[in-house]
Every structure is written in C-alpha cells, then in structure tokens.
A = this chain, B = another copy of it.
C-alpha cells in the first residue's frame, strides 16, 4: 500500500473516524484504525463494535486532487498515535507506505515515522446493509432532531432501552422521542411526498451513537440517507458511512404520559424563563436535582425562586406574556427545565400545567412538532 495525500483532508477524516474508536474495547484490533487505499481514494475505518465509522477521501473531486501515486492495499495502525502524528506533520502533503511485513512509513518533509502496522485481515468486516427501509433527510434537520431529543435519554443502565432515542415513521411523519422517566423530549416532522407511504417500525438508537453522529456532521442542506435493518441503522452521506447497533427491546408507549388538558397556561419569553431559572438554580445547588419553584402571581407575573437554607435564597418576578387558569405553585428540576428550554428554537414558549403534582408540557407557542415534558418534584 502506498499513497500521497493532503494532510488537512486526512486530518478531518481521522478525527471523524476516531469518534468510534475506544481504547477500552475488549477486541485488541479495534484499538486500531484501518487504512485502505484503492484507485478511487483512501478509506479510513474505526469501530468499537457498537458504532462503526468509515470516512472516504476521494482520489479527486471537483477538479481538486486529494490523493496521488496510489498503490492499493490496506493496513491497521494504532489509533493512540496516528492522529497526533498527522496533526503535527510539517508539510501539507504526507506519504504513507506499508511494506509486506506491515512496516508502515509516514513521510512529510524531513520527518519520517516508522510504525508497526497490524494485519487488516484481522479487522472485522463491516456488514453491507441491504434494506428497503431507507429514507433521506437534510443533514441540518437530522442534527436538530438529535439535538432536541437526545439530552433526555437516561444515563442509567437500570432500564437500558431508555438510554436510546425512539425513532419511527407513522403516516408519513417521522418521530424522535427520548425519556429518562423523569422528563420526555419529542420532535416530529412530516416527510416529503416521495416518502409519504414509508412506514418505519419503531427502533431505538443508542443516545451515544446519535451524539457522536451529531458531532461529525457539519450543518448543511445536503441529504443524509438513513437505512434500517432489524438490529442496525446506517447513516450515509457522500463520503461518510456511520453504522450503529440498535437497542433490543420494546420502547415504552409514551403518548399516554402527555396530558390532554391543562389547568394553567403560561406564555412567556424563552430566554427570560431560561435565565431566571438559571439564576434560581445557583442557590438550589445543595438540593437534590437543583429544585426551583414557580409560583403564578397577579398581573401576568410569575415568581421563580431557589432556596438553599445554609447559603440564602433568590427570588425573581418575571413578566409573562399571559398567565391563564388556576393559581399554581410547582417545584421542578432546574436542569430539566433549562435543557428543555434550550432545545426549543423559538422566542416564545407555552407552558401547560395540570396541577402541582402532574407532568407539565413546554412547547413553542405556534408549533406542535416540538414537545418537552417534565415531571414536577414533591417538596413538602
């Protein structure tokens, strides 16, 4: 194997692929990164067996040459050293060569690295997915779907299924739902006409996979292709191939958690509510979950307060756009409230309460596609 490649392109691909590589894997070869040169270009592969990522650098694209002097072949390099080496190379191009004994030489300018490569035959083959259950989304929309839901997955392994995001298509509508059983985040969007008749069975994608995918994808209107099989999901763009296992088991039915009626409705500026909850949380640190309290007042005002007996308290009156219905005193985790408000991309939100002990909803005033639900905290 031999090729000369642009260092910056190589660095970008190495960084993407590294997202799948863990030094704590039980399969030694997976601590490495696979390099594969063909006449079309160079492919890098990393995997921790939950997530596998391939990044492809074409030999030439849009008239720009990225890889030259290619002699096809492949080798596995220790991922602990390779990224730092590439980052610190002195020249804009780098030559990578592997001999028959897998002695790998990396040359750039006057610097020459010799690394002991590993056998690419030992590296597991990634499955080639054959599926009809495939659909496309703009990349920036997928990133939004992830960002608005993935923070609400459970971090506890008590119920493993809750560590993932539930994804399904019903009647032409794509749903993303995450819950840790104390709060729920949901986002749905109608698919385009071409995909209207597509039905996707309910799947559960590990939260960690979606978080890593979101880091790798650059905001763009380009399309990403999503294919699903029984136990894997594949995200594919022009030069990226991101494969994740799915979580086993049935995702709980979440629609019945969502109250259909409300007794108190507060419409308020998202930023005003977020910042006052943030301030109130400063003196709620000693509490379990940084609990803060919301109290409805006269004249469309609400009070947000936090209290830490040893230290002091904070009280803030916030003027809402409107406060309708019954008076209310309710306590909740400031963290959950801030997470939910940050996930809503609208200036104004509607918070719908059904009493101090019932879950409440937060959503944009005029958009039913985003929904955040939080369970209150009993504080008496």
Residues on A lying within 8 angstroms of B by beta carbon are 78, 81, 84-85, 88-90, 104, 110-116, 275-276, 278-279, 282-283, 285, 310-319
Known: A85-B282, A88-B282, A279-B88. A110 touches B317 (CB 8 A): yes
Q: How far is the CB of A197 from the nearest CB of chain B, in Å? A: 50
In this complex, the member of A89, A104, A315, A319 whose beta carbon has the largest number of chain B beta carbons within 10 angstroms is: A315
CA distance A315 to B113 in the complex (A): 6
Residue of B nearest to A301 (CB): B110
* Number of copies of this kind of chain in the complex: 2
Residue of B nearest to A109 (CB): B316
> Is the beta-carbon distance between A115 and B312 smaller than 8 angstroms?
yes
Q: How far is the CB of A283 from the nearest CB of chain B, in Å? A: 7
A-B contact pairs, 18 of them (CB 8 A): A81-B282, A81-B311, A84-B282, A85-B279, A88-B275, A88-B279, A89-B279, A104-B312, A110-B276, A110-B317, A111-B314, A111-B316, A112-B314, A113-B282, A113-B313, A114-B315, A115-B312, A116-B311
CA distance A110 to B316 in the complex (A): 6
Residue of B nearest to A275 (CB): B90
Other-chain residue from B104, B113, B275 in contact with A283 (beta carbon distance below 8 A): B113
Q: How far is the CB of A203 from the nearest CB of chain B, in Å? A: 40
CA distance A314 to B112 in the complex (A): 6
Q: How far is the CB of A7 from the nearest CB of chain B, in Å? A: 13
CA distance A283 to B310 in the complex (A): 52
